[in-house]
Structure 1
């Protein structure tokens, strides 16, 4: 499954080679030009940095030859966003994309991937920063679906939205702040659904640029659903409509 690379130069080589890195752990308080270069390269490529005590690095590598840097490699290869969109548009199927705006829990992410695979989602789009990594737990929770659904990372979700819109994809955001319920949205057209983070939902600036906002009816006293559950309801409404 997922693996690790350790040593400052080795991690830098992995970044330069385009390895799917989830996160880089850096020893707290470590100094030097190489570390600065590593930090700069990681930020430029949208890779998260976590500063930890040396004891954690020792545990991760089971030795002390890490030189203060350990990278976690994703078990899943990511797709190039524009290429993925073009491939989907060339299929004889109505496109269905799923976009995640800040979903940060790996198990929620895994559950969402599993449902997306079952609903025929053509691709999942996540931002490089602030999104849950794909870890062994993600893959396990997805029941292996993480290997079957193409996942693309983008620098900025809003740029990806504009690209999808220019390609004829209609965007619907799932938000309890919407006036309209999900059942009034036509999902028989090329569609992308956006799910927001567990705590904050979809960012206001993103909601301002999409075509539709939709909510689920909540009859009980709780004001919101778990994001993976809500995602499942949205996706199966798409399935229901498209099956006629």
Structure 2
């Protein structure tokens, strides 16, 4: 895969994790067993490394090498620390605008969102360690390189970021259809963070309970939802419009 470093082989991945490599995701062969494979599984759980179980055909497409049932993707970027990122923006005197992505799973959606975020002056993107799309060659291509221009950080759970934002004086706004407010009823002029939910289930219900505000897009046609990257663009440009007024 272009613009991406891979590690293949169970022992090699174990050593890479123990060495502190920035591993974005590990693909494991579905149904594989063995002592060493179990050791890798336990290590990935302990370190909170994003992983998924896939058919062997998927692994064979990722690499022609002898992968032994495991292929890891090394992130092409260094992830930022949440507290340092927020503190730097707050201390800069800017009005913060952050983007929280609750397990966006499609790499092309992820890349398109990063591109729009960079174009709209977003100060940082927060993603969850598990369940989301990796930063890989497709992400880089779809983002038009924006992935290298905007800080991205990972947290154990999106709620961790919500609570930290709120403690830092940053209002958290959820993009969800579970509200009567449209995005035109909500103020984005003050420091704020917008949460976008995953393609299939939206924002986690437990996260929705702790946000400061909710907003939806008015949909005038028969289709009940927009692609998440398109919806994200609408929210971000409404924030830009309000801040330019």
TM norm structure 1: 0.93
CA RMSD of aligned residues (A): 1.7
Distance 2:219 2:150 in 1: 30
CA offset at residue 14 of structure 1? 1.7
Give the structure 1 partner of residue 81 of structure 2.
80
Distance 2:203 2:57 in 1: 37
Q: Could you give the per-residue CA deviations for residues 129-168 of structure 1, whole angstroms, max 9, x where no partner exists?
A: 1111111111101111011111111001111111110010
Q: Secondary structure at the match of 1:90?
A: helix
The 3 A distance-change label for structure 1 pair 158 and 52 is closer
Are 1:8 and 2:1 counterparts? no
Q: Could you give the per-residue CA deviations for residues 171-214 of structure 1, whole angstroms, max 9, x where no partner exists?
A: 00001121111112121111000011112111211111011000
Q: Secondary structure at the match of 2:206?
A: helix
The 3 A distance-change label for structure 1 pair 75 and 177 is same
Give the structure 2 partner of residue 41 of structure 1.
43
Distance 1:111 1:59 in 2: 24
Give the structure 2 partner of residue 113 of structure 1.
114
Instruction: List aligned pairs for 1:163-242, cutoff 5 A.
Output: 163-242=164-243
The answer for unaligned runs of 5 or more in structure 1 is none
Distance 1:112 1:39 in 2: 31
The 3 A distance-change label for structure 1 pair 49 and 220 is same
CA offset at residue 40 of structure 1? 1.0
Give the structure 1 partner of residue 33 of structure 2.
31
Distance 1:207 1:87 in 2: 27
Say how many residue pairs are matched.
243
Q: Secondary structure at the match of 2:92?
A: coil
The answer for unaligned runs of 5 or more in structure 2 is none
Distance 2:4 2:213 in 1: 37
